[in-house]
């Protein structure tokens, strides 16, 4: 599907990182881009740079989200917004569970519920879900994040079933470590996150993820790129641990 077949796009988590770069790319391709995020000031700056339509909305507020975007005809939906919290299920508190479920999967489900029927009716559309290697590989920590991203992974496959027979494409982008603010929010300290997660590492950049999205959306209409796993060359996922006990 060439970009000329699409007129509108909607990107969540659009005020910074991957989302902001994707907004810039889609706008450059000539689409009317609706940018959704909580930070109104950053959205205003993005709108000034790209001409996007800003929506300062908390995507966990389903009523507000529905009011803001429920009536739109969106051809390309990029579910990018995501949050993570430290710790496994043994240390997680109620807020860590509820927030990650609300942002990482509940909002995605509602946006698809609101916008995919229009794609099916028009026989045209593309849904891009940003998941994570945490959704397909098991490694220590961030258990709730793993669970929510695994849900996005399964949902992405299921949407192809739900839209069967219509020209609605679904792509899951499954990144490894990307240099974004999510790690700073995870620790509550952007400088510490820079030292711990990025200094000395060849991490992915938001532009690398935008490249993949631009490729998937720009493929011919008979092609559906279902799953793209993107990692830094020097990062490998997964691992095996086996505790040895004597006696």
pLDDT tens digit string along 11-28? 999 999 999 999 999 999
Determine the distance from the C-alpha atom of residue 112 to the mean position of all C-alpha atoms in its chain, rounded to a whole number: 13
Structure tokens at 118: 């229009």
pLDDT at 117: 98
Q: In the chain, which residue ranges form alpha helices assigned H by DSSP?
A: 17-28, 40-50, 62-69, 94-101, 107-122, 143-162, 182-187, 190-193, 206-217
Task: Give the confidence band of 149 by pLDDT, cuts at 50, 70, 90.
Answer: very high
pLDDT at 1: 56
- CATH code for the domain in which residue 30 is found: 3.40.50.720
Flag whether 113 is in a domain: yes
d(CA 17, CA 180): 5
Does residue 193 register a pLDDT over 60? yes
Flag whether 242 is in a domain: no
**Of residues 193, 189, 192, the one with CA closest to residue 177:** 193
Contact 203, 179 (CB under 8 A): yes
Flag whether 23 is in a domain: yes
pLDDT at 241: 81
Flag whether 241 is in a domain: no
- What is the domain extent for residue 184? 3-230
Does residue 191 register a pLDDT over 90? no
Flag whether 157 is in a domain: yes
Which entry of 6, 137, 145, 201 is annotated as an active-site residue?
145
For residue 145, indicate whether it is catalytic.
yes
Flag whether 240 is in a domain: no
Flag whether 75 is in a domain: yes
pLDDT at 176: 92
**How many structural domains are present in the chain?**
1
Structure tokens at 43: 């959205």
pLDDT at 199: 84
d(CA 146, CA 138): 8
SS3 state of residue 40 = helix
Flag whether 126 is in a domain: yes
Determine the distance from the C-alpha atom of residue 18 to the mean position of all C-alpha atoms in its chain, rounded to a whole number: 8
How many CB atoms are located within 10 Å of the residue 114 CB?
A: 19
pLDDT at 38: 95
């Amino acid at each position: 599907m060439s970009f000329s077949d699409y007129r509108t796009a909607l990107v969540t988590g659009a005020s910074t990182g991957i989302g902001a770069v994707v907004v810039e790319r889609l706008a450059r391709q000539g689409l009317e881009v609706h940018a959704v995020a909580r930070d109104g000031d950053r959205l205003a700056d993005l709108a000034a740079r790209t001409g996007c339509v800003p929506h300062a909305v908390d995507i966990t507020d389903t009523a507000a989200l529905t009011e803001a975007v429920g009536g739109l005809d969106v051809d390309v939906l990029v579910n990018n917004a995501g949050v993570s919290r430290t710790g496994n299920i043994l240390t997680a508190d109620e807020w860590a569970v509820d927030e990650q479920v609300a942002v990482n999967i509940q909002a995605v489900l509602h946006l698809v519920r609101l916008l995919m029927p229009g794609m099916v009716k028009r026989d045209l559309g593309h849904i891009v879900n940003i998941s994570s290697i945490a959704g397909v590989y098991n490694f220590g920590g961030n258990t709730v994040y793993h669970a929510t991203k695994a849900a996005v992974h399964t949902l992405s496959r299921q949407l192809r079933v739900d839209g069967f027979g219509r020209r609605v494409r679904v792509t899951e982008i499954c990144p490894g470590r990307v240099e974004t603010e999510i790690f700073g929010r995870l620790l509550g300290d952007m400088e510490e996150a820079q030292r711990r997660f990025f200094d000395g590492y060849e991490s992915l950049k938001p532009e690398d993820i935008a490249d993949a999205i631009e490729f998937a959306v720009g493929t011919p209409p008979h092609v559906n790129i279902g799953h793209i796993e993107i990692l830094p060359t020097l990062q490998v996922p997964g691992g095996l641990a086996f505790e040895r006990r004597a006696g």
